[in-house]
């Protein structure tokens, strides 16, 4: 079966995608420097699937090591590229680190792929590239205006780099996937999101309040022009998202093709918190706090293109996302503990 290299495959979305790739029969090798993940995630992937995965621990910016890896694996057919830094707030404080890491890692990967004539790539982008475009966001909506963080800018710049590289060689078949808000975990409860330190994102914070690890959730703003005053996002189950990558790999075309991976439905912060309590029976103590800098009031996907061209759409509900998050959180209250402080 085709061998797929997954950069960042030990991370949250990467680990779930590796499971789905193995499930459909691909062979997978992972490159990850474990800066935001754990070897244990890879053991768990093997436990879920009963299949072996090779993990190579190094920084993607190390072009020499990457080159050797491609030399030793001449049968790599495609790359799914997740590796990068993703903390929006940290990127505002350390913009150069974000530009250096995310862009350099991608350049290194594209150069080595070109050298070894690997022509298939799926890249993790984000709905953040739509910035201030009107909602719902379609792939034809303007991108690149009103992006609120250096992290978001790296995604936008890398999209341009990937597009230019694709166009330079008619053999290249690249796909750019713009994710909306991934939450949830594998139904086994063996893999899930394991943020370092205090979570920045809503769902891991909710889960840690429910489990007693954090005292209360601050809801950032309740005076937005939305139905209940809290921000609206398009939450997508991480397993649906992972399956979107399998579909994208199966439908690669010459050049670059960009897809939204979202559900098309908006859910407010309060709706998500209430759904979590309804589903799990766990109370989530919260207070309303000031708006968070850079947050947009509401955005969600127009998911039509992925449905029409990839034959992919989300299947799981907000209820499934809350159930599976809680299953993961309660079975792993401290995440993958092998390299994390508790």
Please report, as ranges, the residues that interact with ligand NAD according to CB under 6 A. Answer: 8, 10-14, 31-37, 59-61, 82-86, 101, 105, 124, 126, 179, 181-182
- Of 18 and 269, nearer to ligand UDP (C-beta) is 269
- Tokens representing 149 are 């963080």
32: Cβ contacts below 8 Å, ≥ 6 apart: 7, 8, 9, 10, 11, 14, 55, 56, 57, 83
Q: Supply the minimum distance, in Å, between the C-beta of residue 181 and ligand UDP.
A: 5
Considering only CA atoms, which of 26, 150, 16 is closest in space to residue 96? 150
Q: Supply the minimum distance, in Å, between the C-beta of residue 36 and ligand NAD.
A: 4
314 neighbors 237 (Cβ within 8 angstroms): yes
How far apart are the C-alpha atoms of 8 and 31, rounded to whole Å?
6
- Of 250 and 287, nearer to ligand UDP (C-beta) is 287
Cβ atoms within 10 Å, residue 167: 13
Q: Which of 251, 292, 304, 305 binds ligand UDP (CB under 6 A)?
A: 292
Q: Is 209 a binder of ligand UDP (CB under 6 A)?
A: no
User: Which partner from the list ligand UDP, ligand NAD, none does 82 bind, CB cut-off 5 to 8 Å by kind?
Assistant: ligand NAD
Q: Which of 12, 137, 151, 300 is catalytic?
A: 151
Q: Is 201 a binder of ligand UDP (CB under 6 A)?
A: yes
151 among known catalytic residues? yes
- Of 187 and 229, nearer to ligand NAD (C-beta) is 187
Where b means 16+ CB within 10 Å and e means fewer, 215-241 reads eebebbbbebebeebbbbbbbbbbbbb
How far apart are the C-alpha atoms of 324 and 280, rounded to whole Å?
10
User: Which partner from the list ligand UDP, ligand NAD, none does 200 bind, CB cut-off 5 to 8 Å by kind?
Assistant: ligand UDP
User: Residues with catalytic annotation?
Assistant: 151
Residues that bind ligand UDP (CB under 6 A): 181, 200-202, 205, 217-220, 231, 233, 269, 292, 295
């Amino acid at each position: 079966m085709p061998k797929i290299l997954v950069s960042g495959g030990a991370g949250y979305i990467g680990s779930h995608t590796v499971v789905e790739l193995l499930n459909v029969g691909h062979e997978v090798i992972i490159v990850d420097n474990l800066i935001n993940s754990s070897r244990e995630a890879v053991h768990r992937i093997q436990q879920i699937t009963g299949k072996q995965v090779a993990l190579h621990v190094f920084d993607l910016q190390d072009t020499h090591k990457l080159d050797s890896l491609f030399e030793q694996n001449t049968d790599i057919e495609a790359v799914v590229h997740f590796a990068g830094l993703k903390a929006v707030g940290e990127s505002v404080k350390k913009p150069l680190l974000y530009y250096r890491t995310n862009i350099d890692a991608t350049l290194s990967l594209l150069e080595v792929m070109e050298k070894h004539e690997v022509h298939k790539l799926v890249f993790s982008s984000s709905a953040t590239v739509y910035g201030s475009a009107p909602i719902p966001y379609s792939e034809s909506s303007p991108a690149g205006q009103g992006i609120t963080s250096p992290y978001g800018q790296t995604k936008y710049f890398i999209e341009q780099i990937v597009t230019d590289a694709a166009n330079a060689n008619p053999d290249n078949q690249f796909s750019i996937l713009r994710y909306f808000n991934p939450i949830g975990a594998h139904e086994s409860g063996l893999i899930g999101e394991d943020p370092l330190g205090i979570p920045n994102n809503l769902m891991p914070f909710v889960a840690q309040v429910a489990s007693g690890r954090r005292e209360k959730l601050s809801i950032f703003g309740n005076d937005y022009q939305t139905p209940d005053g809290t921000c609206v996002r398009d939450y997508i189950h991480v397993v649906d998202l992972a399956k979107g990558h399998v579909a994208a790999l199966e439908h690669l075309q010459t050049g670059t093709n960009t897809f939204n991976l979202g559900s098309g439905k908006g859910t407010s912060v309060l709706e998500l918190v209430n759904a979590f309590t309804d589903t799990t029976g766990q109370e989530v103590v919260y207070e309303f706090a000031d708006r968070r800098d850079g947050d947009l009031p509401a955005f969600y996907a127009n998911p039509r293109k992925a449905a029409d061209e990839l034959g992919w759409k989300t299947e799981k509900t907000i209820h499934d996302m809350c159930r599976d998050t809680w299953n993961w959180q309660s079975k792993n209250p401290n995440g993958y503990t092998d390299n994390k402080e508790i």
